[in-house]
Structure 1
Amino acid sequence: MKNFKTLLLIAVFTLGVAGVANAQKLGHIDFEKLVAEMPQTKTLKSSIEKLAKTYQDEIEGMGKKLEAKMQKYTAEQKSQTQVINETRAQEVQQDRARYEQARQGAYQEMQTKQAEELGPIIEKAQKAIEEVAATKGLDYVLDASVGKGLLVKKGEDIYSAVKAKLGF
């Protein structure tokens, strides 16, 4: 009986220690904030803004030309034949279609460029998070930016460590 109690006590102690050893370490980071503050993201934002300005200038120029053409054609409408007016109306309609196509194309190109260039930035941030988590022995890292809804932040905030790992 004494041996049974001793074995039971050893088993309980061993299970208790194993339970503490298996406790999972948690960390958290505001991923959106990290990516937004990365130098590569700031460079990308600047280049997208420059591209947007270029497109905006082009599209505004097209719009002004279209508006001027419409005003001219409207002013000359009474002095022209119906055939010429119909031809001009088709021409204006085609110009409007090109204008809209240019606007949509510019928007799509900027979206594509942003998506293509943001991918490697996100991968770099994720890799740095994984490396810091491994260094600190963290089992899980939660994204504190998702809904800004971490109600209890008992895990370690690794933002500063990841930022240092990325060198900014």
Structure 2
Amino acid sequence: MKKWLCAASLGLAMAASAGVQAADKIAVVNLASIFQQLPAREAVAKQLENEFKGRATELQGMERNLQTQMQNLQRDGSTMKASERTKKEQSIMAQREQFSTKAQAFEQDNRRRQAEERNKILSRIQDAVKTVATKEGYDVVIDANAVAYAGSSKDITADVLKQVK
């Protein structure tokens, strides 16, 4: 009797755990594809380009000016007085440092803004994934790039893309 009770409870436990495992509905979504196809991404890229256009133009002008001054120094340096040449070299070095500082600040600001905008878009995509998964009753949604294989019937990429647009 004791063996029968133990076997019955073990069978019941296995059946219950198998039922729980089968209840999980898993879907796959290709986040990279959605991100690439999103029209908002191109609009954000143009917005960032316009936002940093003035500073980029200023940096290009500074770089051209520095190159011109360096070429002039190389060309005319041998005929200049030593004090005049030293003064010119120091001026160029100061301008080069100023250019380097401005270029680093520009790069940092540009990277920071791109990350902010990318995170906004990814947040919208994530919200859309949650909405579609909830609506269709999925318990788990995995990025397609993290899966070796998934059947196309469980792919919700198109639905998420419609939701985000």
* TM-score interval (norm. to shorter): 0.7 to 0.9
In the TM superposition, 1:43-122 aligns within 5 A as 43-50=43-50, 54-122=54-122
1:162 maps to 160
Counting aligned pairs with the same residue, the percent is 21
In the alignment, the residues of structure 2 paired with residue 14 and residue 80 of structure 1 have an alpha-carbon distance, to the nearest angstrom, of 94
Query: Does residue 152 in structure 1 map to residue 149 in structure 2?
Result: yes
Higher helix share goes to which structure?
Answer: 2
How much is the aligned-residue C-alpha RMSD, in angstroms? 3.0
Equivalent pair of 1:27/1:156 in contact (CA under 8 Å): yes
Q: Which runs of 5+ in 2 are unaligned?
A: none
Q: Deviations over 1:16-39 (max 9, x none)?
A: 477336421110111111122222
Query: Does residue 19 in structure 1 map to residue 18 in structure 2?
Result: yes
Q: CA deviation at 1:52?
A: 6.0
2:41 maps to 41
In the alignment, the residues of structure 2 paired with residue 112 and residue 152 of structure 1 have an alpha-carbon distance, to the nearest angstrom, of 35
Q: CA deviation at 1:116?
A: 1.3
Q: CA deviation at 1:57?
A: 3.3
Q: CA deviation at 1:93?
A: 0.5
Q: Deviations over 1:85-133 (max 9, x none)?
A: 2121111101111222232222212101111112221111101101111
Q: Which runs of 5+ in 1 are unaligned?
A: none
In the alignment, the residues of structure 1 paired with residue 54 and residue 37 of structure 2 have an alpha-carbon distance, to the nearest angstrom, of 25
Q: CA deviation at 1:83?
A: 2.1
In the alignment, the residues of structure 2 paired with residue 109 and residue 93 of structure 1 have an alpha-carbon distance, to the nearest angstrom, of 24
TM-score for both structures, normalised by structure 1? 0.77
Aligned to 2:134, the other structure's residue is in SS state helix
In the alignment, the residues of structure 1 paired with residue 26 and residue 130 of structure 2 have an alpha-carbon distance, to the nearest angstrom, of 13
In the alignment, the residues of structure 2 paired with residue 31 and residue 90 of structure 1 have an alpha-carbon distance, to the nearest angstrom, of 52
Aligned to 2:150, the other structure's residue is in SS state coil
Q: Deviations over 1:69-97 (max 9, x none)?
A: 22333444344432222121111101111
Q: CA deviation at 1:15?
A: 6.4
TM-score for both structures, normalised by structure 2? 0.78
Equivalent pair of 1:51/1:110 in contact (CA under 8 Å): no
Please identify, of 32-41 and 78-87, the stretch whose mean Cα deviation from structure 2 is larger: 78-87
